[in-house]
């Protein structure tokens, strides 16, 4: 038998609060991107990538130990992510054009919004996706590492990025469904971080998917 502490209304972070925190995180990331564009020398950008990876690993370790990140951690991480993303977005912008990148962002927002609305309103339990999504994400990470040494052709990049879009669309469904009844107030920053990562990865894989299609048209 265990003791279960009653959580009062003041201690509950609703899905709306989580999504507001996520939206703020996205704005902070955009500010970080602007700082990366105007202030940070290009040769220092790799340092921010290492900081981003270190903070992400720290967040995972804290979660495994039952500890939660705070709002300062969340906003520092998202700002650092924005700085690290700047050269990536610029590279896609030079390859595809600024209008296409902007369109991909709007498409990502539309996909995210549609899936979030469905997961929030639906009574379906998406917890069965958890194991598959973890395995698929690890597979994507391994394929990404392979791509560093054996660059993908257009067809492989098309398949890889298409799988990535599907996987992170699944993560949006899974995470929103997990949070639709709210979480403890202390868990809001971690929940917002998960959703932020879902959105950013969905955006990046969608950009890569579009770039692979553009590659076919050039061949």
Domain count, the chain: 1
pTM for the structure as a whole: 0.90
User: Ranked by mean pLDDT, which of 3-17, 35-49, 116-130, 159-173 comes out on top?
Assistant: 159-173
Q: Is 218 exposed, middle or buried (0-12, 13-18, 19+ CB in 10 A)?
A: exposed
What integer pLDDT is reported at residue 4 of this predicted model? 33
Cα separation, 20 vs 136, whole angstroms? 28
Residue 3 lies in a domain: no
Are the CB atoms for 39 and 79 separated by under 8 Å?
Answer: no
Q: Span 148-164, mean pLDDT?
A: 89
Contact 77, 56 (CB under 8 A): yes
Q: Which range among 9-23, 179-193, 195-209 shows the weakest confidence by mean pLDDT? A: 9-23
SS3 183: strand
Residue 56 has pLDDT above 70, yes or no: yes
Mean pLDDT across 182-211: 94
Residues paired with residue 183 on neighbouring β-strands, in sequence order: 13
User: CA distances (Å), 211 to each of 41, 70, 107, 166, 214, in order?
Assistant: 27, 36, 15, 17, 5
Comparison of pLDDT for 67 and 10, the residue scoring more: 67
Does the pLDDT value for residue 217 go beyond 90?
no
| pLDDT tens readout for residues 60-85 | 999 888 889 999 999 999 999 999 99
- With a cut of 90, say whether residue 24 has pLDDT above it: yes
Average pLDDT over all residues of the chain:
89
- What's the pLDDT band for 206 if we cut at 50, 70, 90? very high
Count of all residues that appear for the chain in the document: 219
SS3 12: strand
The domain in which residue 103 lies consists of: 13-218
Report which secondary-structure segment, H or E, holds 214. helix 188-218
The pLDDT value given to residue 66: 85
Tokens matching residue 170:
């699944």
Q: How many CB atoms lie within 10 A of CB 69?
A: 21
pLDDT band at 216 (very low <50, low <70, confident <90, very high): low
Q: Give the pLDDT score at 218.
A: 64
Residue 196 contacts residue 76 (beta carbons within 8 Å):
no
From 49, 59, 52, 58, select the one nearest 77 (Cα to Cα): 52
Residue 165 has a CB neighbour count (10 Å cut-off) of: 20
In a domain, 129, yes or no: yes
In a domain, 93, yes or no: yes
pLDDT at residue 8 greater than cutoff 50: no
pLDDT at 200 (0 to 100): 96
What average pLDDT does range 188-196 have in this prediction?
95
């Amino acid at each position: 038998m265990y003791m279960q502490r009653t959580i009062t209304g003041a201690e509950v972070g609703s899905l709306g609060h989580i999504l507001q925190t996520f939206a703020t995180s996205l704005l902070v990331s955009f500010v970080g991107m602007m700082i990366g564009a105007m202030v940070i020398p290009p040769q220092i950008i790799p340092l921010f990538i290492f900081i981003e990876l270190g903070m992400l690993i720290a967040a995972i370790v804290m979660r495994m130990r039952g500890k939660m990140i705070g709002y300062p951690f969340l906003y520092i991480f998202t700002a650092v992510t924005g700085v690290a993303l700047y050269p990536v977005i610029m590279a896609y912008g030079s390859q595809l054009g600024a209008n296409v990148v902007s369109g991909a962002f709007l498409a990502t927002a539309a996909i995210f919004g549609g899936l979030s609305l469905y997961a929030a309103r639906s009574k379906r339990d998406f917890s069965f996706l958890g194991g598959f999504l973890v395995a698929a994400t690890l597979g994507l990470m391994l394929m990404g590492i392979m791509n560093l040494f054996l660059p993908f052709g257009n067809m492989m990049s098309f398949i890889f990025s298409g799988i990535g879009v599907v996987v992170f669309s699944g993560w949006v469904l899974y995470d929103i469904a997990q949070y639709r009844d709210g979480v403890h107030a202390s868990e809001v920053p971690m929940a917002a971080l998960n959703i932020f990562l879902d959105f950013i990865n969905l955006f990046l894989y969608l950009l890569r998917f579009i770039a692979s299609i553009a590659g076919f048209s050039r061949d």
